[in-house]
Structure 1
Amino acid sequence: MREGLLAKAPSHSRFVPFYLNNARMSFLVAQHLHSLSVDDSIKKNSGFPAEFECFLWVVVTAYYGMFYAANAALAKLGLKVGEKIAHKVVQDCLLVYFIKNTRIAKSLLDAYKDAKGEVLAMMRLSEEELLKEFQVKAHDLVATFSYQRKSRGEFQYDITTKAKENVARLSLERSSAFIRELSSVIDKIK
């Protein structure tokens, strides 16, 4: 808490509905993107070509559903996560405030970690590399764009569509269970 990564903020509990709504909306977007990626009639009706798929974004938005649900649970405890390395702090807080206190099952934390890891792996970044990417100054944006463009190309061509679809489906399942369980936990916290 000394480094500004996490703060006790009892009034932050007022953001629980905001975080839960964002969690649910992120999950709904992930579901919609998955449907758009696999259903030819949705593609056609939406004006997308038959080969269109956005499985990476399914994984990313499903993960963000989990991230927002975790923030809701922390806010319910009167905790506010700072902006610096927020995803790592949320993961650590889940361990300290919910696993060690047996508020949620360890498997849910593992699902959160796996989803985060899958997003980083798909982007071909480690957590440290991602942190460095976020610290890049404005004059480095061109280099960042070039790197991301290369990563995007590698993702598109190095991983088969079926493999991406399987990761996306698994991410949806994990996110659904995680959001559902944390919502239940939040309801039980007084």
Structure 2
Amino acid sequence: MIEDKELSQAERNIQDYLNEELLTKKPEHQQFTPFYLKNAKMSFQVAQFLYNLSTNSDTKKSAGVPDDFECFLWVVVTSYYSMFYIANAALSKLGFKVGEKFAHKITQDALLVHFIKNNKLAKHLLDEYKQTKDEVLNLMGLNEEELLKEFQLKAKQLIATFDYQRKRRGEFQYEIQTSAKQHVAQLSLDRARTFIQEMNKVIDKM
């Protein structure tokens, strides 16, 4: 749960980000809102497709992948990125633009300060955003900066990297049973769906 001290720290962080220009605020940044909205939608659609590809034999056959193929990790990653993009769409609507350095932490703090503090967004939704981000980091064994470098791929490129992902399955730092990975993937999809729906409502009112 989000505590007052976390909010206070986020407020201090935001001021630091602005001072260091890791986060900028200009009216022209609003032009990026459609871009982020499009990427949020596309990322979620990719997450859904990847989940179907991992669980549906007909989809696997159509895609030409083996029966035992699964890419639940990518479902978690693309679900998170759909949340990340919709969050940045809302921030850009306020005139904010998050830079590349520490982008995930800055986005999280900005959501807390500009959408949770004023009750525009329910606290439990930010909790779910944070949990999904942490799951991605844990599954990949990465920190936030490495995550950004590793997954600055457009959603359409992810579909073309199935073979690459399959080869990397043995390299994951944390080995998880397929059933457990499927559970996490489904949970991530559900979280992303709810988060996107609620953020779209917030954006429509802005």
Task: Give me the TM-score of the superposition, normalised by structure 1.
Answer: 0.85
8 Å contact kept, 2:36–2:88: yes
The match for 1:81 among 98, 105, 117 is 98
Report the Cα distance in structure 1 between the residues aligned to 2:184 and 2:148, rounded to whole angstroms. Answer: 24
What SS does the aligned partner of 2:119 have? coil
Runs of 4+ off more than 6 Å: 131-134
When the two chains are superposed, the root-mean-square deviation of aligned CA atoms in Å is 2.5
Question: Partner residue of 1:100?
Answer: 117
8 Å contact kept, 1:20–1:69: yes
The match for 1:46 among 63, 75, 84 is 63
Superposition pairs for residues 50-69 of structure 1, below 5 Å? 50-69=67-86
Cα shift at 1:117:
0.2
Gaps of 5+ in 2: 1-17, 152-167
1:142-182 deviation per Cα after TM superposition (whole angstroms, max 9, x unaligned): xxxxxxxxx84253982100000000000000000111110
Determine whether 1:30 maps to 2:47.
Answer: yes
Report the Cα distance in structure 2 between the residues aligned to 1:165 and 1:156, rounded to whole angstroms. Answer: 17
Task: Give me the TM-score of the superposition, normalised by structure 2.
Answer: 0.79
CA shift in 2, pair 1:184/1:51, >3 Å: same
Q: Which amino acid aligns with 1:76?
A: K
Question: Partner residue of 2:88?
Answer: 71
Identity %: 64
Deviates more, 1:12-21 or 1:160-169: 12-21
Determine whether 1:158 maps to 2:159.
Answer: no
Report the Cα distance in structure 2 between the residues aligned to 1:126 and 1:29, rounded to whole angstroms. Answer: 23
Q: Which amino acid aligns with 1:186?
A: I
Determine whether 1:18 maps to 2:39.
Answer: no
Cα shift at 1:131:
7.9
What SS does the aligned partner of 1:158 have? coil
